[in-house]
Structure 1
Amino acid sequence: MSKQEFHGHIGRTYDESEEWWPEPTRAPEGAPNVLMVVLDDVGFGHLGCYGGLVDTPNIDRIADNGLRYNNFYTTALCSPTRSCLLTGRNHHSNGMAGITEISTGFPGYNGTIPHENGFLSEMLVEEGYNTHALGKWHLTPAQDMSAAGPYDQWPLGRGFERYYGFLGADSSQYYPNLVSGNEQVEPPATPEEGYHLSEDLADKAIEYIQDSKAVAPDKPFFSYFATGACHAPHHVPKEWADKYAGEFDMGWEEAREMILEQQKKMGIIPEETDLSPHNPDVPQWSLLSEDERRLYARMMEVFAGFLEHTDAQVGKILDFLEGIGELDNTLVMVVSDNGASAEGGPTGSVNENQFLNNVPEDLEENLEAMDELGSPEYYNHYPFGWAWAGDTPHQRWKRETHRGGVSDPLVVSWPDGIDARGEVRDQFVHAIDLVPTVLEAVGIDAPDEIKGYTQSPIEGASFAYSFDDPDTPEQHTTQYFEMFAYRAIYHDGWRAVNPWTFNEEITAEDLSATTLEESGWELYNLREDFSEAHDVASEHPEKVLELAQLWWTEAGKYDVLPLDGRGTQRFAATGRPSVSA
């Protein structure tokens, strides 16, 4: 408790003195619980309620009870997006240009979120909330993840009262490197005993809420539930994958057509939306061998089972909240952190680290593993053709700033606070907008100071205005994007995109005045071309120039510079702080 002005009276002795106790901090009356569900590597077209081919009845239930946003954007990568979701600031403002393991010695790239950029958990705990984090964190500087600490960038150091999960980028679902609070712990069971991390996280989320409500039933909670799914390894009990046997034999091109049709039928995308062109990196399904098609279809079956299994865990939490009478006054937000992942390469992998280290896959060996994919024996990932399909109707995927990398599902429900049911909203929303939206729903302002740190301004804008009015003009009208020098800018319905090859260094020579003004930029009018299927840069050179210059203005505001196209090379960057140095 901080020292406060004393309002009693202190005399020479107790009998002539008057006690005084400060009022305990309480959340505003009627303030909602907040459940933020963060999925991993789930694309715009994966969920059932977004036209996907995977059954997700529980997330669909949230959508039926609330809203789906079709113009929600992320940063194209996990740690950067998660920093936005929890602080309301842009990823470069958070020092999170990339994942923490590839930090470099520049303000926007150093992998350390400044305490001046407070977390939503820090804001809510000071307003009388219980705060819990479950699952993937990936926001601690790489050099601070050991038992030697420091712990100020672990979840308990950023406003969460309880934490159970893993600190890194991904995890085995059967043998996770678990942390409880600030302590490394062993999983409570083995795979042979039925252990699966997603189930464990859901049980722990329920336990934390139950503990809080048992003692203080009127105290609201903020639960940040970040599954390891559906990041590789795609680990799921066999029966969940077997449910989808034969469901993907048609291949990724036909899957895209099916998803597009369902999206239009649902009204999640405009009726006139065209499917973005065939990705030249993706082989045609019909040209694959029979063995390749059989293997790749099975890899997608495993992913589908993994996603549906994850949905079932979300359902357990929803059922619990409904059972204790808390669901109606819980603001539920379900998001993904980036587009579907292409990190399985063209062939998929039984160990995604092979692709990341440029180790060729052996088809015969992978065929031998096919029946055991999803088990503890393998660290499997599907081919990037399925990522392309999972991002339907958009082009490209995770790590790139075309819509396939940055357009994601956002499902919101709050029965006591949102009258709309099963509706779609098309206003532009970005990951930095969730924090101010939650603050508005709770009825509090962003604090000026947290733990002695003067707070930087929130950079997002609340989208609560859209809850009950589908026609209100969007309030977030300009947003830059950058990931590994792959750039984009949104402004008033237009998007300009400047692709850059992953792992290719970008130099000053690449950014001559001519390049800045004219070269490399694609242009899309999203009000007429939802899927970025038609590049109109040649028809509107003045708009290209306007948006290119606007990108540089925004980059200067938010610590985006210097541009760095290196990706995996940054893992070996020199000069990075080390706990043992």
Structure 2
Amino acid sequence: MSQASWNEYRPGQGFPGVVGRTTEESSPAWPQPVRAVPGAPNVMLIVLDDTGYGQLGCYGSPIETPNLDALATGGLLYSNMHTTALCSPSRSCIVTGRNHHANGMAAITELATGYPGYNGQIPFENGFLSEMLLQHGYNTYMVGKWHLMPSEQESAAGPYDRWPLGRGFERFYGFLGGDCSQWYPDLVYDNHQVEPSATPEEGYHLTEDLVERAMSFIADAKQVAPDKPFFLNLCPGATHAPHHVPTEWADRYRGRFDDGWDAYREHTFDRQKQLGVVPADAELSPRDPDVPAWESLSPEARRLATRMMEVYAGFLSHTDHHIGRLLDFLKETGEFDNTLIMVVSDNGASAEGGVTGTTNEMQFFNNAPETLDESLARIDELGGPGTFNHYPWGWTWAGNTPFRRWKRETYRGGVSDPFLVHWPDGIRARGEIRAQFAHIIDMVPTVLDVLGIEPPASIRGVTQSPLHGVSFAHTFDDATAASRHRTQYYEMFGHRAIDHNGWRAVCPWPGPSFAEADRPFGTSITMADLDDLDAHHWELYHVDNDVAETLNLADEHRSKLIEMIALWYVEAGKYNVLPIDGSALERLMLERPQITQARSGYTFRPGTQVLPAAVAPRVLNRPHSVTADVEIPPGGAAGVLLCQGANAGGWTFYVKDGHLHYAHNYVQRALYHVGSREKVPEGRHTLRFEFEPTGNPDIAHGKGASGRAQLYIDGRLVGETDMPFTTPVAFNPGGMACGANPGSAVTPDYRAPFRFTGTLHTVTVDLSGDLIVDAPSEMRMHMARQ
């Protein structure tokens, strides 16, 4: 029977066939399968991470990105696209078409607080593009970075309704959090954790793995349904820290950045003018007060900074290479010309490496930067599996040429990003620049527009909210078309801005730069602060004529500024922006609701999934114990009992050479170790580690609580040491694992995964403060209450 002879009906309609007493007197009909419109294009979004406006070759950068440049040559380059200044918020806008506070994504999910615009839970009424296209016969694939749900929901306990497969993606392969090692990633396949297919020594790298998986997802479906279109959301970890890349890619840039970031800016700006990316009469933003002049650096500092930039450039070129492999695959399969490709970065280049850069970004998050000499000692390791590196913020500033500032701030360096559109079958224009104002909330409406799809009224029974963005499809073949997006607010960590009809107002917090601020980044905003900010610290720029925010017109156009401030508050009221919160560290350390009631005891078993940090017991800066119930076979056993973190920082409790051990990796700057004086005997035993704080943490200076580390076998003290300080804030990457150390080894004392070879029944973590050695003191009681 041919398809044409099938009698079909839409689900919900009455059965159009005939039902008699037998099939002889009956006629069948079938529920109509969901099919895409014939010839419907594939849709592929490529979301780069922390890639600045001046870092792609087609935007004037000296970094080689030939495959992305080819998309610009064969399609459109947008010079006026805007984001939110941070990753999770931007990514929520890209897939929903709604503003980030309306998505509950005021900041990254790890900083969620208990307000509608800040809770990290994208409402189900804000449907994803994947959910929309699924209703129209598309296969939907999510590959790479997710970072779009509360961190507390990343464990095997779920709930899974905000995981990719719960938000309309049929297949997922990637990582759930904000970053991960490119060499030892924390991988999830659909709804379960998996280990990488190879080791770095065997040639593994995450970007290559992600592209391979994307191609396999497409190929899997196309061999069965070659005419069925797909939606692929490809989100590599690149170029977010760690800047991990094979050495040969970094070595391609040897000597290319020796003239420094000042020269990079000048050369890139000149090239941007030649390309037409910025107007010929544009002015370059002035020197950033936080960035030292290149010539002021010592030769050693310049050598380190240069190598860090070589590694970054190699990382970006390596990413471009693998994106090129995916594009070649689409050409080979005949899908390239009818695939609508959009390439965007989630925010401007990142300054999280600090003024000097770092071999381990976790030092930044723990306020524990290494010295120049410490960094130089590891210069040849940069980009490799033993580092978690990030370049100095001088390169960040240069990478956002021609704009001022960077990620996390709402000056244009934080929110203006590269954006490419390529679709040979749907766009006549080739190699042209579009200068219309746009924002990433416009991407979903544009895709729906070109597909001829109306935003759904409901998804899985949930009535949908209106889209906030507007389509820019009318600009595809008309360079002179006016933008339909007239007003756009911004807020990130209390740093605010608004664009309206070619004008831009910015209210920086805590100041226009760190050097000009009287308080550090991440400071809370009081009512007095807000009154002062609104009265005295808004800046005004006519960006239609001043793309790089070089001339503050706040005094000359006071009435326009007041209008813009009022408009910002109108938009803030619409989209759940209030209350304005400038804090960072406080949000990171905030206790949030868990899916189970708070408890002081946790029990783990080997072979279970790795526990993300957000749901793992919080052992930092407080008394705690770790107790393992083991059986040691004849001849002994070895391996990890429980660990948390990775080579970038963490702790591990393990048996080696017959002895019991504990090691605390302080952001790779120090390793505190204690081993037992006697061997663990054969048979069943209780092995225990205790930490008893002896001093207060000094988080501002990167030092967690000092304390005494003690080891016990069957209740007998067999080893102790004093740790002058510990990790103050967080371990990342790497979760808490029982019976093995997946990924990179927390300590160089063993090679991962170092699975325990005896019988490990359970491991219990106790946070009650009930320690075997009881030495009461005010400090101990204080810490026990934390």
Which TM class, normalised by the smaller chain length? over 0.9
- Cα deviation, residue 511, structure 1: 2.5
Contact 2:257 2:309 (8 Å CA) reproduced: yes
- Of the three residues 547, 555, 558, the one matched with 1:530 is 547
- Cα deviation, residue 395, structure 1: 0.2
Which amino acid is the alignment partner of residue 547 of structure 1?
Answer: M
Contact 2:358 2:369 (8 Å CA) reproduced: no
Taking only the aligned residue pairs, the percentage that are identical comes to 60
- Of the three residues 310, 317, 322, the one matched with 1:308 is 317
Contact 1:275 1:531 (8 Å CA) reproduced: yes
Q: Report Cα offsets for 1:366-398 as digits up to 9, x if no partner.
A: 111111100001000000000000000000000
Instruction: Confirm or deny that 1:570 pairs with 2:587.
Output: yes
Structure 1 equivalent of residue 142 of structure 2: 133
Q: Report Cα offsets for 1:133-152 as digits up to 9, x if no partner.
A: 10000002111100111100
- Of the three residues 11, 33, 41, the one matched with 2:20 is 11
Instruction: Confirm or deny that 1:493 pairs with 2:493.
Output: no
Relative to structure 1, the CA distance from residue 318 to residue 575 in structure 2 (aligned partners, 3 Å threshold; closer, same or farther) is closer
Instruction: Confirm or deny that 1:176 pairs with 2:185.
Output: yes
- Of the three residues 425, 431, 440, the one matched with 2:434 is 425
Under a length normalisation based on structure 2, what TM-score does the superposition of the two structures give? 0.73
- Cα deviation, residue 357, structure 1: 1.3
- Cα deviation, residue 24, structure 1: 1.5
Structure 1 equivalent of residue 42 of structure 2: 33
Structure 2 equivalent of residue 277 of structure 1: 286
Relative to structure 1, the CA distance from residue 355 to residue 575 in structure 2 (aligned partners, 3 Å threshold; closer, same or farther) is closer
Instruction: Confirm or deny that 1:186 pairs with 2:203.
Output: no
- Cα deviation, residue 3, structure 1: 5.2
Instruction: Confirm or deny that 1:219 pairs with 2:228.
Output: yes
Show the 5 A alignment for 1:195-206.
Answer: 195-206=204-215
- Cα deviation, residue 20, structure 1: 1.1
Q: Root-mean-square deviation (CA), in Å?
A: 1.2
Contact 1:28 1:443 (8 Å CA) reproduced: no
Aligned equivalents of 1:7, 1:161: Cα separation in 2: 31
Show the 5 A alignment for 1:348-427.
Answer: 348-427=357-436
Which amino acid is the alignment partner of residue 594 of structure 2?
Answer: P
Using the TM superposition, name which of 176-185 and 531-540 deviates more: 531-540
Aligned equivalents of 2:489, 2:348: Cα separation in 1: 17
Contact 1:134 1:165 (8 Å CA) reproduced: yes
- Cα deviation, residue 482, structure 1: 0.3
Aligned equivalents of 1:7, 1:504: Cα separation in 2: 66
Structure 1 equivalent of residue 52 of structure 2: 43
Aligned equivalents of 2:24, 2:256: Cα separation in 1: 80
Structure 2 equivalent of residue 208 of structure 1: 217
Structure 2 equivalent of residue 238 of structure 1: 247
Q: Report Cα offsets for 1:296-339 as digits up to 9, x if no partner.
A: 00000000000000001110010000111110100010000000
Residue 164 of structure 1 aligns to a residue whose secondary structure is strand
Q: Report Cα offsets for 1:494-521 as digits up to 9, x if no partner.
A: 0000000231111122233x643x3111
Structure 2 equivalent of residue 505 of structure 1: 524
Contact 2:363 2:370 (8 Å CA) reproduced: yes
- Of the three residues 541, 547, 561, the one matched with 2:578 is 561
Aligned equivalents of 1:6, 1:344: Cα separation in 2: 64
Aligned equivalents of 1:11, 1:34: Cα separation in 2: 46
Q: Report Cα offsets for 1:173-226 as digits up to 9, x if no partner.
A: 111010000010010111011000000000111111111111111110001100
Contact 2:103 2:126 (8 Å CA) reproduced: yes
Aligned equivalents of 2:54, 2:530: Cα separation in 1: 35
Residue 160 of structure 2 aligns to a residue whose secondary structure is coil
- Of the three residues 444, 461, 480, the one matched with 1:471 is 480
Aligned equivalents of 2:173, 2:182: Cα separation in 1: 14
Which amino acid is the alignment partner of residue 549 of structure 2?
Answer: E
Which amino acid is the alignment partner of residue 543 of structure 2?
Answer: L
Aligned equivalents of 1:314, 1:109: Cα separation in 2: 33
Contact 1:481 1:488 (8 Å CA) reproduced: yes
Which amino acid is the alignment partner of residue 166 of structure 1?
Answer: F
Aligned equivalents of 1:568, 1:414: Cα separation in 2: 43
Using the TM superposition, name which of 522-531 and 336-345 deviates more: 522-531
Structure 2 equivalent of residue 545 of structure 1: 562
Contact 1:31 1:443 (8 Å CA) reproduced: no
Aligned equivalents of 1:463, 1:579: Cα separation in 2: 45
Instruction: Confirm or deny that 1:449 pairs with 2:454.
Output: no
Structure 2 equivalent of residue 520 of structure 1: 537
Using the TM superposition, name which of 352-361 and 63-72 deviates more: 352-361
Using the TM superposition, name which of 23-32 and 133-142 deviates more: 23-32
Structure 2 equivalent of residue 264 of structure 1: 273
Instruction: Confirm or deny that 1:113 pairs with 2:122.
Output: yes
Instruction: Confirm or deny that 1:143 pairs with 2:152.
Output: yes
Structure 1 equivalent of residue 716 of structure 2: none
Structure ranking higher in helix proportion: 1
- Cα deviation, residue 567, structure 1: 1.0
Structure ranking higher in strand proportion: 2
Query: Structure 1: 5+ residue runs without aligned partners?
Result: none
Instruction: Confirm or deny that 1:328 pairs with 2:337.
Output: yes
Contact 1:138 1:167 (8 Å CA) reproduced: yes
- Cα deviation, residue 16, structure 1: 3.1
Residue 135 of structure 1 aligns to a residue whose secondary structure is strand
Which amino acid is the alignment partner of residue 507 of structure 1?
Answer: T
Aligned equivalents of 1:261, 1:576: Cα separation in 2: 51
- Cα deviation, residue 18, structure 1: 2.4
Which amino acid is the alignment partner of residue 488 of structure 2?
Answer: Q
Aligned equivalents of 1:535, 1:289: Cα separation in 2: 34
Aligned equivalents of 1:487, 1:5: Cα separation in 2: 54
- Cα deviation, residue 577, structure 1: 3.4
Aligned equivalents of 2:178, 2:300: Cα separation in 1: 32
Query: Structure 2: 5+ residue runs without aligned partners?
Result: 1-9, 511-520, 599-786
Residue 272 of structure 1 aligns to a residue whose secondary structure is coil
- Cα deviation, residue 444, structure 1: 0.7
Which amino acid is the alignment partner of residue 156 of structure 2?
Answer: A
Q: Report Cα offsets for 1:344-366 as digits up to 9, x if no partner.
A: 00010000010121113221121
Under a length normalisation based on structure 1, what TM-score does the superposition of the two structures give? 0.98
Which amino acid is the alignment partner of residue 20 of structure 1?
Answer: A
Aligned equivalents of 2:592, 2:128: Cα separation in 1: 28
Aligned equivalents of 1:468, 1:519: Cα separation in 2: 43
Aligned equivalents of 2:87, 2:62: Cα separation in 1: 24
Contact 1:418 1:467 (8 Å CA) reproduced: yes
Contact 1:335 1:411 (8 Å CA) reproduced: yes
